[in-house]
């Protein structure tokens, strides 16, 4: 059950829609094509705008059609309707393409046309953004878990191709297909975690903790502020986290429901140092918001104070397409004292549907 929005774009020579008579001819041709697909097409509203004309129609199928002419030659047609069953689609995509072709043939002067796959609006969220805010469509068919906590909206959604996927505040975080995320942030088969002391900042999905424990570390301490995330993932993302979230501690690990910055302050005061610290928190900001960058700087400064001289910060950064944000992050690292070295790599993450940058930061002991 969902509302379907169909978008069609046409472009004509602006000279062909410069007066009312030409627009009337075009409108009549478009309406005639519509009538071969729907019954009782009825004009509801017409509005003259500075940049063109807008016309709104209804029909027996309860579809609403917006037809808009722009002075620059762009013609847009938006069709919206609701259906209870996918088999009862008023305009399946193959029919949309035929409809587009008929319109192109009927309307003289068309230079180009394009029909987009229908946008579906239903109880299941289908669309999520890339890191640079482009729209991606997912094959979500079930809401497995959903709860609003005092920190965020927590969801586990099921995707036909990705399996269960953790979504926080409407942003995809990790899916059952995303083992590459954990492998990359760990630099699997490159770093040696045996007998090492490790801190995870965030990581509530449990995937990183689960994989690190396979490497026989001396101790892993994980700080996650939202226990609802851990409970949801323990039940619904077990292919990623195994059973490590079932208990708050084990022979060589401990999970603490805590603000990671407060935890770092405690270790700074204690004078404790670690071999590895994993930053599995929020992405590097893609905006210039000073508050977000201030938080990022606090995390870095506190982290470096609890790293051993040969320790490393292993962190996720941002989408590879966000070059400005990445550059600003690198500039921030260059200002740190003591001086640090920044190595980066990237990997394609299935649930993100894009390349993601990971950073590995250590002290520059060359001087």
- Torsions phi, psi for 36 (to 5 deg): -80, -10
The residues, any chain, with a CB within 8 Å of residue 274's CB and separated by 6 or more, are 197, 198, 199, 267, 306, 307, 308, 311
Structure tokens at 186: 């760990």
Q: Tokens 């199928």 appear where?
A: 61
| Structure letter (DSSP) for residue 110 | E
Which pLDDT value is given to residue 11? Answer: 82
Per-residue pLDDT tens over the stretch 203-252: 999 999 999 999 999 999 999 999 999 999 999 999 999 999 999 999 99
Given 280, 310, 324, 355, the catalytic residue: 280
Packing angle, helices 93-106 and 20-35, rounded to 10: 140
Which pLDDT value is given to residue 2? Answer: 80
CATH architecture of 124-175: Roll (2.30)
**363 confidence band (pLDDT: 50, 70, 90):** very high
Question: What is the arithmetic mean of pLDDT over 332-359?
Answer: 95
Percent of the chain having pLDDT more than 90? 62
Catalytic site includes residue 94: no
β 197-202/274-280 pair status: parallel
Q: Tokens 């509005």 appear where?
A: 47
β 119-122/2-12 pair status: antiparallel
CATH architecture of 2-119: 2-Layer Sandwich (3.30)
- pLDDT greater than 90 at residue 346: yes
- pLDDT greater than 80 at residue 61: no
What is the average pLDDT score of the chain? 90
Which pLDDT value is given to residue 107? Answer: 67
- Which comes out higher in pLDDT, residue 56 or 38? 56
- CB neighbour class for 98 (10 Å; exposed up to 12, middle 13-18, buried from 19): middle
Residues of the chain with CATH 3.40.50.150: 179-363
Per-residue pLDDT tens over the stretch 79-113: 898 887 666 677 777 788 888 888 877 766 555 66
Which pLDDT value is given to residue 227? Answer: 96
Cβ(145)–Cβ(155) under 8 Å?
Answer: yes
Residues of the chain with CATH 2.30.140.10: 124-175
**197 confidence band (pLDDT: 50, 70, 90):** very high
Which of 51-65, 76-90, 292-306, 313-327 shows the lowest per-residue confidence on average (mean pLDDT)?
76-90
Task: Give the separation between CA 61 and CA 197, rounded to whole angstroms.
Answer: 65
Per-residue pLDDT tens over the stretch 117-141: 777 777 788 889 898 888 899 999 9
Q: Which CATH superfamily includes the segment(s) 179-363?
A: Vaccinia Virus protein VP39 (3.40.50.150)
- CB neighbour class for 178 (10 Å; exposed up to 12, middle 13-18, buried from 19): buried
Q: What's the Rg (C-alpha) of the chain?
A: 27
Question: What is the arithmetic mean of pLDDT over 353-359?
Answer: 96
**23 confidence band (pLDDT: 50, 70, 90):** confident
């Amino acid at each position: 059950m969902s509302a379907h929005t169909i978008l069609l774009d046409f472009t004509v020579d602006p000279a062909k829609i410069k007066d009312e008579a030409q627009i009337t001819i075009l409108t009549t041709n478009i309406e005639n094509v519509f009538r071969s697909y729907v019954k009782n097409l009825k004009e509801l509203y017409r509005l003259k705008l500075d940049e063109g004309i807008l016309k709104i129609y209804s029909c027996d199928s309860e579809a609403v059609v917006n037809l808009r002419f722009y002075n620059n030659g762009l013609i847009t047609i938006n069709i919206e309707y609701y259906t209870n069953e996918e088999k009862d689609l008023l305009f399946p995509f193959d029919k949309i393409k035929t409809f587009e072709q008929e319109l192109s043939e009927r309307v003289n002067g068309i230079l180009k046309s394009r029909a987009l796959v229908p946008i579906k609006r239903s109880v299941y969220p289908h669309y999520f953004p890339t890191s640079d805010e482009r729209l991606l469509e997912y094959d979500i068919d079930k809401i497995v878990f959903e709860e609003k906590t005092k920190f965020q909206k927590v969801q586990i959604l099921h995707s036909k191709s990705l399996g269960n996927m953790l979504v926080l505040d409407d942003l995809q975080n990790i899916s059952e297909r995303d083992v590459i995320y954990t492998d990359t942030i760990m630099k699997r088969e490159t770093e040696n975690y045996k007998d090492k002391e490790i801190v995870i900042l965030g990581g509530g999905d449990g995937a990183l903790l689960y994989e690190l424990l396979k490497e026989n570390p001396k101790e892993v301490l994980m700080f996650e502020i939202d226990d609802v995330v851990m409970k949801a993932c323990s039940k619904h993302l077990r292919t990623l986290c195994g059973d490590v979230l079932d208990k708050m501690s084990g022979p060589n690990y401990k999970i603490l429901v805590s603000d990671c910055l407060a935890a770092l302050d405690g270790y700074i005061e204690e004078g404790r140092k670690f071999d590895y610290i994993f930053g599995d928190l929020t992405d590097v900001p893609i905006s210039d918001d000073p508050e977000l960058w201030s938080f990022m700087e606090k995390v870095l400064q506190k982290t470096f104070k609890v790293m051993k001289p040969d320790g490393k910060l292993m962190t996720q950064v941002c989408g590879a397409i966000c070059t400005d944000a990445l550059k600003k992050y690198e500039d921030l690292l260059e200002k740190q004292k003591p001086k640090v070295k920044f190595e980066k790599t990237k990997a394609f993450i299935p649930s993100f549907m894009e390349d993601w940058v990971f950073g590995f930061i250590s002290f520059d002991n060359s001087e």
